[in-house]
């Protein structure tokens, strides 16, 4: 049987209002002895507070919505885990939903979360949302709750966002290949509509040009972010016979290229050097020391949680953009050309 406040009030011989004040640690004139008695009774009866009633009283649900584009991508899975743990430590329940990179689904999920009274949102935008910048901007600016964009950023103003410097990441990886003697470097990119993809391509171009090398457009292959796309587009990559190295959109695509290389009888890095993006632990589990651009997910989550908390507690009102710096894990998948 569900224990109610009035049951505790009856046993403690006080009013329900008094029980509410004590259990919610509100200021009152109730003696310390009576407070302890009320708390002891509540504990012995295994009293569980009515969260819905508390939410109505506080005009807050203590719930955060997290919207991600692809739960199967280990990068986003790990990000969700970090966000959930950090919000739980602050007393928030996290509801995680997956848009499957579909803008219509994304909009519907966000509205459903708002209808359920979430206090705030963390959003990693779908690829498809970038197909119409005007619609994307209009939708985001109509969201009636504090929210933070993570990972995939937008170029327009008035939006709180935390993301890694993709241009720096693309340049970092390309420079490492150049330093190891590679000149014919392909880039299996993400979706051309997504700003972070364009930023990484710009970093790639910048690095090649700094070495006085021509940027060959046929070396830039729009691939996506999934393992199967890496396998599929690796066939086109292997047809570029003079290519000695490739930078990929993420580690999952790199794994797809590695799988196709195995099928095609190519050795990594003897026949082809490869650099991933994200530094997924899966590479270590597979016994593969993959060179990759590392984006620290813990730091990303911490910054996003702090930014949203400041908005929820009204500590800050102005919008902020936090750009984090990636690093390079050198691994053993890049061959030095003499």
Tens-digit pLDDT profile for residues 8-20: 888 888 888 888 8
- The torsion angles phi and psi of 119, rounded to 5 degrees, stand at -75, -30
Same domain, 198 and 272: yes
Residue 40 has pLDDT above 60, yes or no: yes
Same domain, 213 and 274: yes
Same domain, 147 and 225: no
In-domain check, residue 338: no
What digits encode the pLDDT tens for the residues 251-291? 999 999 999 998 898 888 999 999 999 988 777 766 778 99
In-domain check, residue 321: yes
pLDDT at site 313: 85
- Based on its alpha-carbon atoms, the radius of gyration of the chain, rounded to whole angstroms, reads 26
Same domain, 137 and 172: no
What digits encode the pLDDT tens for the residues 296-316? 999 999 999 999 999 998 877
In-domain check, residue 333: no
- CATH number of domain containing 243: 3.40.50.2300
Helix (H, G, I), strand (E, B) or coil at 30: coil
Same domain, 286 and 318: no
Could you give the number of structural domains in the chain? 3
Q: What are the DSSP calls for 267-336, one per residue? A: -TTTT-EEEEEE--THHHHTT---EEEE--HHHHHHHHHHHHHHHHTTS--S--EEEEPPEEE--S--PP
Give the Cα-Cα-Cα angle 217, 335, 231 (nearest 5 degrees): 55
In-domain check, residue 201: yes
Same domain, 150 and 207: no
Same domain, 183 and 266: yes
Report which of 255, 257, 250 is spatially closest to residue 272, judged by C-alpha positions. 257
In-domain check, residue 190: yes
What digits encode the pLDDT tens for the residues 92-122? 999 999 999 999 999 999 999 999 889 999 9
Same domain, 287 and 306: no
Same domain, 232 and 208: yes
CB 180 within 8 A of CB 273: yes
Tokens of residue 17, six digits = 């209002």
What digits encode the pLDDT tens for the residues 211-261? 999 999 999 999 989 999 999 999 899 998 899 999 999 999 999 999 999
CB 92 within 8 A of CB 119: yes
In-domain check, residue 187: yes
Same domain, 181 and 271: yes
Same domain, 288 and 173: yes
pLDDT at site 26: 77
In-domain check, residue 54: no
Q: What's the domain range around 120?
A: 62-164+297-327
């Amino acid at each position: 049987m569900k224990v109610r406040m009035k049951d505790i009030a009856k046993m403690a011989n006080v009013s329900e209002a008094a029980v509410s004040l004590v259990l919610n640690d509100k200021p009152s004139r109730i003696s310390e002895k009576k407070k302890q008695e009320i708390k002891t009774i509540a504990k012995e009866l295994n009293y569980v507070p009515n969260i819905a009633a508390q939410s109505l009283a506080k005009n807050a649900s203590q719930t955060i919505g997290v919207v991600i584009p692809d739960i199967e991508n280990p990068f986003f899975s790990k990000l969700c885990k970090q966000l959930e743990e950090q919000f739980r430590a602050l007393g928030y329940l996290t509801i995680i939903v997956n848009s499957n990179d579909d803008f219509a689904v994304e909009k519907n999920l966000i509205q459903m979360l708002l209808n359920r009274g979430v206090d705030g949102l963390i959003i990693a935008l779908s690829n498809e949302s970038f197909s119409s910048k005007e619609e994307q901007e209009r939708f985001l600016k109509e969201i009636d709750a504090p929210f933070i964009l993570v990972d995939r950023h937008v170029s327009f103003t008035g939006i709180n966002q935390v993301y890694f410097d993709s241009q720096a990441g693309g340049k970092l990886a390309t420079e490492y290949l150049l330093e190891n003697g590679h000149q014919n470097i392909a880039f299996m990119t993400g979706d051309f509509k997504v700003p972070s993809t364009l930023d990484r391509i710009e970093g790639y171009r910048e690095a090649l040009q700094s070495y006085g090398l021509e940027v060959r457009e046929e070396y830039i292959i729009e691939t996506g972010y999934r393992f199967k796309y890496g396998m599929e587009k690796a066939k086109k990559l292997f047809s570029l016979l003079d290519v000695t190295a490739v930078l990929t959109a993420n580690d999952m695509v790199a794994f797809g290229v590695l799988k196709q290389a195995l099928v095609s009888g190519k050795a990594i890095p003897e026949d082809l050097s490869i650099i991933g993006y994200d530094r997924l632990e899966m590479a270590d589990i597979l016994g593969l020391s993959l060179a990759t651009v590392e984006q620290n997910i813990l730091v990303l989550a911490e910054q996003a949680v702090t930014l949203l908390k400041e908005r929820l507690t009204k500590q800050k009102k102005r919008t902020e953009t936090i750009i984090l710096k990636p690093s390079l894990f050198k691994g053993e998948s890049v061959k030095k050309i003499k």
